[in-house]
Amino acid sequence: MSSFRNNRIVIASLFLPKTAAVGEDRRSGAPTPDENRFLALSGSANVPQPKSPLRKNFPGPLSSIVDDLAFKSKAPTPSISPAAEAGNPFTTFANLSAATQPLQDAATALLNATIAQTPPTSRKHQTTHTDSQGLQHRVSRKGARSSSSRRNGFDIKEWHIEANPHCNGGLNNAVNSVGSKMKRKLWVGVLGTQTDGFNKDLRDNINKRMRVEAESVPVWIPDSEFSKCYDEFCHQVLWPCLHYAIPDAPKTKLFYESASYQQYVAVNQKFADVIVENYQEGDIIWVNDYHLMLLPSLLRAKLPNAPIGFFLHVAFPSSEIFRCLSVRQKLLRGMLAADLIGFQTANFARHFRQTVSRILSYEALPKGIQTPERFVDVAVFPIGIDVASLTMKRRDPEVTEWVNLLHQRYAGMKLIVGRDKLDEVQGVRQKLQAFEMFLEKYPDFRGKIVLIQVALSTTEENEAQGGVADIVARINSRYSSLTYQPVVFLHTNDLTFSQYLALLTVADAFIVTSLREGMALRTHEFVECQEGRARPLILSEFTGSYSYSGFRSCLPINPWDARMTSQAIYQALTMSDFEAEARWKDLHNHVVTQTAQAFVTGFLTRCIRVHLEHENQLDGEGDKRVVQKLDVARVLPRYKHSRQRLLLIDLEATLWLRDPLVKGTSPPKEAIDVLNALAEDVRNNVWILSGLRKSGVLDEIAKAVPKVGLVAENGCFIKPRPVAGKPQPWINMVSNFNLSWKPSCLEILDYFAERTPNSFVEEREASIVWRFWTGSSDDSSDRQWARRQAAEAQNHIFDSLGEKYGLRIIPGKNSFLVLPNNVSRSSAVGAILAPGGPVHTPISMRPPWLSTLDTETDLTTDIDFVLAVSGDEKLLRRLNELDHAETVSTSDSGTDARWKLEPKDTVGTLSQFAKTA
């Protein structure tokens, strides 16, 4: 198996895992490398801070965790004055409950006054870096909680390296989890700070130290250009699109007419320039996420032979959504320059393949996309967490102390914990509405349950879009008392990572109500923190995590259905220990299998392997490999001296240039004669591969060439060669398949055929063909219309019937074929070759790609020569694995075959083999 151990991995991600913070490093003890491994676990912005002495003596019972945070803020004021920060995170909502009853107002005011008695000062457990003077995290988030004032003048010596709160935490954690397996790596990204004021000396100094101390190379981008790219195009165009949040056109034109795409291109180009400048032979380039969708194509233009993998960490939408983007084709072509494109779930990968097929009209196969230049693998690599590191961290005495504190604080209470960003996609508003309905529906739980909602650092704009302030205020004003507050709302800078793990440990349920999400890794953390308690997980059906069978033991919810969610909360709180433990075991088994290590290892190993496959198709200059025309003189000696031969020959478009518009025709006499001549040689096992139905023309061919085996409907039916001189009947290879999909499929195709001039549908016994274009092959407007109709039809069939009945679609230039999945000419050849299989022939060879047989079967067989003349690239690729196979492609597209042959020359070429004794 290919390994990445000896390669340097160039990891391109928008934000570097470490950043340069301007100002002297005055933190009381920088985090150790082990602590930094927990930076933003599961993609959060929680940065582990140095441990502070735990409070051993409490001044009396406290009503919530916020009290303790306020108490901790009484530490001596540090030498550096932090930015002003409210001691009570609920002050944001304090003015939103004016309409509540006077008694409730008094209760809330008293609670707030108690918590806010201490003047706002720095907290030892603060998890953002507002104490670093001059550092302003340059995500250009207006009002972002992680920003601080910028200093205009500074000494170039006054800067230090610290963890970057904006980095892709899940990716960083996964990369760190493989440890020494990734011997060399180089991160490429931006610092996340405003850098226009950095002079050349400072930049050179940062470049040098970041390279040595952080294995990183910064990309320097003007602040205004980055802001346009990140804040506008990435956040207001791409992010909504990828998460199904398309704005209404009358309300905003930004989504549809954004000029910030130019800055997006410029940022991607600057990343490409840095990577090309630092690239070394043997490097593997790993491009991450939607911020850099153009980067693979920009790199391919400069580094044609480099291994490039692209992984999308977020969701990928239906083609109906993605096609709304005005730059849809450019984004797709940018991604398709990679060797491998990875997604979190099979649904996201399927959406991508469908989108490419629909928008670019490329052939989309289960394995990937066939572009005019290359084959691009598309696969699924679910990210996970570093279970071992998380286990070690949650056993920290500080976590244990916080667990004990929370048990004391909320004695007799049920705790529901959530942790989300506040944007509209994360569904926090829907969660709060469901919790409010729960309190209304189950009054016995009032005063006995608390929802602790942790909010990730975000912008004030996002908080407004998320729309949670009014609901939090309404719930708390309606159900609070002097000693009880039903919703505790915390930002990530209000608690440490240890406190967060303690919350997960004591939670009686964890709830995720995302309206759309990639992989919800915080649920994985909750499952592992529940070892020994095994409390239930409430999970949105729209998360990537839910698509995996291991997570089906959660309590699934539709976040749009508040009643369903409130009922799930009740079920979680009243579930028996036996049921909860059984559910937890299923979840735990999945989490410890789908790990961060498996994600990194699987993606990089696959990237190397597919690159080697693609490299074989290219010449030394990176251009498409020129496949030579079949040189019969070079092949004939092997053919002549072989003892047992297998000949696989396509019928249509190879042996017979059939016109589908003309019915009642038969293969030319010359083709029949050459087949009979080849079959007369006792050393030859001749097979004809066809897409036609078995009745009709193929029955006539079977009579004309009785010693030849036949494959019909692309592998759905096989007619073996005669045994002991007796003809064999047709064997149905899809007898166990449900063919009830055909009427519905025909109905869909008839609908589109009526709207596409001169197109027609061919119904076969186990498959259906739609010939959507029957005119000339020029790229006329009529043909373009027909291709668009074909793409629409394919998507309708796949969406409505594909998954339900297990169908696949094989697109061609002017037609496409619908047939059962896992059936192909390749599978038919596998059945032909399999000893003891459904087709009994004298052949007993097993190629290494057949998985139906015992892997220990001896591959030494009597077959010592295989000649395959076909336009089926999948079959030719697989036969290439045999040392004694000569593969000949008759298609006009890129091929992995060893030889090329024009279809019109097929009969003449085969005649030369037939004449050789």
Please check the confidence at residue 207 and state whether its pLDDT lies above 90. Answer: yes
Per-residue pLDDT averaged across 591-605, rounded? 93
Per-residue pLDDT averaged across 890-914, rounded? 90
Where residue 25 falls among pLDDT bands split at 50, 70, 90?
low
Q: Is residue 785 part of a domain?
A: yes
Q: What is the pLDDT of residue 257?
A: 56
Q: What is the pLDDT of residue 563?
A: 96
Element (H, E) at 8: strand 8-15
Using CA atoms, how far residue 844 sits from 4, 477, 532, in Å, is 37, 79, 55
Please check the confidence at residue 242 and state whether its pLDDT lies above 80. Answer: yes
At 460, the amino acid letter reads E
Q: Is residue 140 part of a domain?
A: no
Q: Is residue 43 part of a domain?
A: no
- Answer whether 805's CB lies under 8 Å from 741's CB: yes
- Domain of residue 745: give its range: 741-820
Where residue 488 falls among pLDDT bands split at 50, 70, 90?
very high
CA distance 288 to 296: 10
How many CB atoms sit inside 10 A of residue 536's CB?
26
Using CA atoms, how far residue 569 sits from 426, 537, 670, 694, in Å, is 18, 10, 75, 58
Closest residue by Cα to residue 70 from 472, 495, 506, 477? 495
**Six-digit token string for 663:** 């019915």
Q: What is the pLDDT of residue 662?
A: 81
CA distance 775 to 783: 8
Q: Is the domain of 297 the same as that of 179?
A: yes
Please check the confidence at residue 521 and state whether its pLDDT lies above 90. Answer: yes
CA distance 130 to 83: 6
Three-class DSSP category at 125: coil
Per residue in 271-280, is it b (16+ CB within 10 Å) or e — as a string? bbebbeeebe
Which tens digits make up the pLDDT trace of 370-399? 888 888 999 999 999 999 999 999 999 999
Q: What is the pLDDT of residue 822?
A: 85
Which tens digits make up the pLDDT trace of 624-656? 567 899 999 999 999 999 999 999 999 999 999
Which has the minimum average pLDDT: 7-11, 500-504, 518-522, 812-816? 812-816
Q: Is residue 93 part of a domain?
A: no
Given the structure tokens 């699924």, which residue do they identify? 380
Given the structure tokens 């390994």, which residue do they identify? 3
Choose the most confident range, by mean pLDDT, from 22-36, 53-67, 106-120, 589-603.
Answer: 589-603
Q: Is residue 274 part of a domain?
A: yes
| Domain boundary residue, one of 594, 617, 641 | 594
Per-residue pLDDT averaged across 670-693, rounded? 94
Looking up residue 413, the CATH number of its domain turns out to be 3.40.50.2000
Q: Is the domain of 660 the same as that of 720?
A: yes
Looking up residue 871, the CATH number of its domain turns out to be 3.40.50.1000
Q: Is residue 341 part of a domain?
A: yes
Q: What is the pLDDT of residue 819?
A: 93
Please check the confidence at residue 209 and state whether its pLDDT lies above 90. Answer: yes
| Domain boundary residue, one of 380, 408, 440 | 380
Q: Is the domain of 507 the same as that of 649?
A: no
Which tens digits make up the pLDDT trace of 154-204? 445 678 899 998 899 999 999 999 988 898 999 999 999 999 989 999 999
How would DSSP label each residue in 159-184?
EEEEE-TTS-HHHHHHHHHTGGGS-E
- Answer whether 858's CB lies under 8 Å from 874's CB: no
Determine the distance from the C-alpha atom of residue 807 to the mean position of all C-alpha atoms in its chain, rounded to a whole number. 22
In total, the chain counts a number of residues equal to 917
Closest residue by Cα to residue 639 from 907, 903, 884? 884
Which tens digits make up the pLDDT trace of 725-745? 888 999 999 988 889 999 999
CA distance 664 to 281: 58
Q: What percent of the chain has pLDDT over 70?
A: 78
Q: Is the domain of 586 the same as that of 530?
A: yes
Per-residue pLDDT averaged across 331-355, rounded? 94
Q: Is residue 671 part of a domain?
A: yes
Q: What is the pLDDT of residue 810?
A: 85
Q: What is the pLDDT of residue 461?
A: 57
| SS3 annotation, 229-295 | HHHHHHHHHHHHHHCCCCCCCCCCCHHHHCCCHHHHHHHHHHHHHHHHHHCCCCCEEEEECHHHCCH
Please check the confidence at residue 860 and state whether its pLDDT lies above 70. Answer: no
Q: What is the pLDDT of residue 480?
A: 92
Where residue 84 falls among pLDDT bands split at 50, 70, 90?
very low
Closest residue by Cα to residue 399 from 524, 531, 509, 504? 504
Q: What is the pLDDT of residue 125?
A: 30
Per-residue pLDDT averaged across 116-122, rounded? 34
Which tens digits make up the pLDDT trace of 864-875? 999 999 999 889
CA distance 129 to 144: 12
The residues that bridge with 868 in the sheet, in sequence order, are 648, 887
**Six-digit token string for 695:** 């009745």
| Domain boundary residue, one of 380, 399, 423 | 380
Which has the minimum average pLDDT: 17-21, 142-146, 482-486? 142-146
Q: Is the domain of 359 the same as that of 440?
A: no
Please check the confidence at residue 36 and state whether its pLDDT lies above 70. Answer: no
Where residue 24 falls among pLDDT bands split at 50, 70, 90?
low
CA distance 809 to 649: 22
| Cα-based angle 746, 748, 753 (whole degrees, multiple of 5) | 85
Per-residue pLDDT averaged across 70-90, rounded? 34
Q: Is residue 312 part of a domain?
A: yes
Q: Is the domain of 210 the same as that of 346?
A: yes
Q: Is the domain of 229 the same as that of 254?
A: yes
- Answer whether 570's CB lies under 8 Å from 564's CB: no
Q: Is 718 left (phi over 0), alpha (psi -120 to 50) or beta?
A: beta
Which tens digits make up the pLDDT trace of 449-469? 999 999 886 555 555 555 788
CA distance 176 to 33: 10
Split into its structural domains, the chain has a count of 4
Per-residue pLDDT averaged across 435-447, rounded? 95
Please check the confidence at residue 841 and state whether its pLDDT lies above 60. Answer: no
Q: Is the domain of 435 the same as that of 494?
A: yes
At 699, the amino acid letter reads D
Looking up residue 780, the CATH number of its domain turns out to be 3.30.70.1020
Q: Which long-range contacts (CB under 8 A, 24 or more apart) does 887-896 make?
A: 888/630, 889/627, 890/650, 890/653, 890/654, 891/653, 893/370, 893/372, 894/370, 894/372, 894/373, 894/374, 894/375, 894/617, 894/624, 895/617, 895/627, 896/613, 896/616, 896/617
Supply φ then ψ for residue 190, to 5 degrees.
-95, 160
Q: Is the domain of 900 the same as that of 767?
A: no
Q: What percent of the chain has pLDDT over 90?
A: 56
Q: Which long-range contacts (CB under 8 A, 24 or more apart) does 471-474 make?
A: 471/429, 471/432, 471/433, 471/436, 472/90, 472/93, 472/432, 473/93, 473/94, 473/96, 473/97, 474/97, 474/100, 474/436
Mean pLDDT estimate for the chain: 81
Please check the confidence at residue 11 and state whether its pLDDT lies above 90. Answer: yes
- Answer whether 766's CB lies under 8 Å from 716's CB: yes
Q: Is the domain of 832 the same as that of 813?
A: no
Q: Is the domain of 725 the same as that of 753?
A: no
Please check the confidence at residue 579 and state whether its pLDDT lies above 80. Answer: yes
User: Strand locations in 637-796, DSSP E?
Assistant: 645-650, 684-689, 709-712, 717-719, 731-732, 760-763, 768-771
Q: What is the pLDDT of residue 466?
A: 59
Per-residue pLDDT averaged across 276-298, rounded? 96
Helices and strands of the chain, counted as H and E runs = 32, 29
Three-class DSSP category at 903: helix
Q: What is the pLDDT of residue 157?
A: 60
Given the structure tokens 């923190």, which residue do they identify? 529
Please check the confidence at residue 39 and state whether its pLDDT lies above 60. Answer: no
At 294, the amino acid letter reads L
Sequence-distant (6+) residues with CB within 8 A of 202 are: 156, 159
Q: Is the domain of 447 the same as that of 572?
A: yes
Which tens digits make up the pLDDT trace of 766-790? 999 999 998 877 767 888 788 878 8
